[in-house]
Amino acid sequence: MKRLIVNADDFGRHELINKAVEQAVEKGILRSATLMPGAKAFDSAVEIGRKHPELGVGIHFTLVNGYPVLPPNEIPSLVTEEGVFVDDHTAFVKKLVSGHVNMQEVRAELSAQLEKMQNTGLELTHADSHQHMHTLPGVINVVIDLVKEAGIKAVRIPKAPLFSGEFGGIGQLIGRFGLGTLARISGSKAKSRNIASPDYFAGIVAGEAVSEDELLAVIKNLKNGTTEVMMHPGIDNKQLIPDTGWDHDFEAEYRAMVSPEIIKLIEENKVEITNFRSLWPND
């Protein structure tokens, strides 16, 4: 059996991302998304999740490039002077390894994010994080504790291939090797707590879009088991790129999700399109 989870990250970050998610559920192969608790378009994302029960909604834990749920004065080690998270994973990792991240504040903030998600009434299918911060040492322990306590039964383990998408040089390879190492450690910790994860991860981690051609290649080469593809769909690059500060082809990923050729190939290969509910272990 070959199963495919296409997950839309950053759900709730922007109304044009929410619009892409809803249309990709209605017209395409999207059945999974992770919602950013502190995002500006959170409320409309929740409404989409309620409207579409076939969409498995998880929590996109956020410690970088976004907004906290707790008041900034309660988590000073996690925010800038402007009261927002540091901009990217590199800045956060530097703070973490230099001892300038208070792990009690991490637990408090992520707990508040989870509580906000639980208060929506949505049944959370899984957990992951913005820029894979949940795989970091210390943070993964907090995340596993929280999801276990909340009864969330699955988590992303981003075991990204070293070579996928455009080659970005030795720096990219080092980054992917580091993430792969953290992912393996995180996967072992999750498994020891009876928290499930997909067998394979096909998302491109360096920011390139998963185009229609790349998604076709993933589907043609699927192995038996469950593969997650991490994607970031959106509508209208001209507005999303400046609004998010990310030079990403959101439209290409949306087009891949609703592509008739993709849908046809999935049907021909008898691939099951699913979400993280299909991974839940029997307790």
Tokens of 126: 């899984």
| DSSP for residue 24 | H
The rounded radius of gyration (Å) of the Cα atoms in the chain is 18
Strands (E), 50-119: 56-61
Contact 220, 247 (CB under 8 A): no
Residue 9 annotated to the active site? yes
Q: Which of 9, 10, 128, 249 is catalytic?
A: 9
Residue 66 neighbours by CB distance under 10 Å: 22
Nearest to residue 247, comparing CAs of 260, 256, 234, 258?
234
All residues at 6 or more sequence positions from 237 whose CB lies less than 8 Å from its CB, including other chains: 248, 249, 250, 251
Catalytic residue numbers, as ranges: 9
